[in-house]
Amino acid sequence: MVLPSASLRDCAVVEEVRREPDRVTRTTYCRGAGPVEIEMRVYNPTKQNYEVLVHARAMSVSPPENAVPPQ
C-alpha cells in the first residue's frame, strides 16, 4: 500500500458482504498502522451494478505511543 507519506507492507484486505441494501465493504489493514483504506459499494438495482458510495485512504500514519515495534 502506497500512501503520500509512506509505503506500507504486510497488508490485508477484509471484505464484508451485507444485505438490505446489498453492499460490499473492503477495508485494508497494514501491520503497524491499522486500517488505511476503506471502500463501500452499494448495489443499484436500476443500473444492476455496485456503485462506490464511500472511498477513503489515509494520507499518513503514525504508530500508537505504546505500540510494539514489528519484528
Q: What are the pLDDT digits (tens) for 3-21?
A: 767 788 889 999 999 998 8
Compute the average pLDDT of residues 42-69: 83
CA angle 49/22/36 to nearest 5° reads 90
Among candidates 18, 60, 16, which has minimal Cα distance to 38? 16
Break the chain into its structural domains and give their ranges: 11-57
Q: What is the pLDDT of residue 71?
A: 64
Is the bond preceding 64 in cis, omega lying within 30 degrees of 0? no
* H-state helical runs in 1-71: none
pLDDT in tens, 17-48: 999 889 999 999 988 888 999 999 999 999 99
Is it the case that residue 63 has pLDDT exceeding 70? no
Q: What is the pLDDT of residue 32?
A: 80
